[in-house]
Structure 1
Amino acid sequence: MSFPPENLPAVPVELIQDMKSFLRIDHGEDDDAMKQFLRSAAHLCENFIGQMLITQSVCDRMPVGAEWQKLKRRPVQAISLVEAVAPDGATTALPSSDYAIDIDGDGTGWVKVHAARGITRIAVTYHAGLAVDWAAVPTALRQGVVRLAGYLYSHRDGMDAAGPPSAVTALWRPHRRMRLA
């Protein structure tokens, strides 16, 4: 599963400063480029670990099924709204008696509609993410993002056969959530 990179919150100045310190850069000429490399690295981190870094509101639209359905993003902090989606796209909140929700210990969110009554699609709004902001992201993940962004920045003009530093995956691997298909 891939998380859209546009869903990442803005990169704070402190994270850019961390990258500058890592690269031993003391000018601000490349701040915009560094910001883009940090966003790319954070996007790659989310896809590698299978979890969103920063908590935010997410809405999944899915067909109604008779079984429990898994939400796309993790870790789910709270499921706030389940709505019926009409063919024209209009939404109507379902009464809580018409569905069940659950969040596993690993942060996987689930929803099940009890009585479909002609409903074919639902929209589920929930909050998912590991941390409330970049400062609260686990240190190993944050360091991996900075290291990968630094690598991308320093190798932007040429190819490097060695690839990204293995330290990045070593920092991220303990946070990785595997899914078997």
Structure 2
Amino acid sequence: MIQGLAALPAAAVAAAAGAVAERVHRDAVEPAIAAAAVTAAEDFCGRVLIARDAVQVVEAGGGWQALVHGPVRGIAGTHPVDIDAGGTGWVRVGARTTVRYQAGLAEDWAALPPGIVQGIALFGAVLATDGADAPLPAGVTALWRPWRRVRIGAHRA
């Protein structure tokens, strides 16, 4: 299965960098630090936080197959699709197909839940002061835990 997710929107990275800069009382913070903090939040939560496009090649099969990235906001194409209450996108294809869709918890930085924003700002501050090898603090994971989604095994129906 081949899959891809578009880069974080520049506006979201800039907003995250601003939030981190406020935490560390600096005029500016490297966008790479802010992007790393957002990516860490997405990895921990197991979901795309800021809406963006995704593409996935789905192999032929008779049953429903789950899309990798979520929560899914919309799926393009003419094949049968479904989005369940948990935001998992499902497709049913008869031949190998490239599926294009959009995934993300929030439309943009301003629409993210406050706990996620605060955790990104805190972890970005840790990265800015302690370096890229800094561990993820327990206080940050506590802020992100309500949005955490863990997948075990493959989804197939």
TM-score of the two chains, using structure 2 as the length reference: 0.85
CA distance in 1, matches of 2:127, 2:13: 18
The CA deviation at 1:41 is 1.0
Percent identity (aligned): 34
Query: Which of 43, 53, 66 pairs up with 2:62?
Result: 66
Residues 53 and 41 (structure 1 numbering): CA distance in 2 closer, same or farther, change over 3 Å? Answer: same
CA distance in 2, matches of 1:170, 1:5: 26
When Rg is computed on C-alpha atoms for both structures, the one with the higher figure is: 1
**Hey, what does 2:137 align to over in structure 1?**
165
**What per-residue deviation string (whole Å, max 9, x for no partner) do you get for residues 127-175 of structure 1?**
1101111111111111111111110110029x76xx3321110000100
Q: Which amino acid aligns with 1:142?
A: V
Q: Which amino acid aligns with 2:18?
A: Q
Question: Is it true that 1:143 corresponds to 2:91 in the alignment?
Answer: no
Unaligned runs of 5+ in 2: none
Residue 107 of structure 1 aligns to a residue in which SS? coil
Question: Is it true that 1:106 corresponds to 2:91 in the alignment?
Answer: no
Runs of 4+ in 1 over 4 A off after TM superposition: 3-6
TM-score of the two chains, using structure 1 as the length reference: 0.75
**Hey, what does 1:20 align to over in structure 2?**
21
* Maintained 8 Å contact 2:74/2:102: yes
The CA deviation at 1:5 is 8.2
Q: Which amino acid aligns with 1:59?
A: V
* Maintained 8 Å contact 2:82/2:89: yes
Residue 80 of structure 2 aligns to a residue in which SS? strand
Q: How many residues align?
A: 150
* Maintained 8 Å contact 2:17/2:33: no
Residues 55 and 169 (structure 1 numbering): CA distance in 2 closer, same or farther, change over 3 Å? Answer: same
Residue 141 of structure 1 aligns to a residue in which SS? helix
Unaligned runs of 5+ in 1: 82-95
RMSD of aligned residue pairs (Cα, Å):
2.2
| Structure ranking higher in strand proportion | 1
CA distance in 2, matches of 1:166, 1:23: 19
Query: Which of 35, 38, 49 pairs up with 2:45?
Result: 49
CA distance in 2, matches of 1:104, 1:5: 20
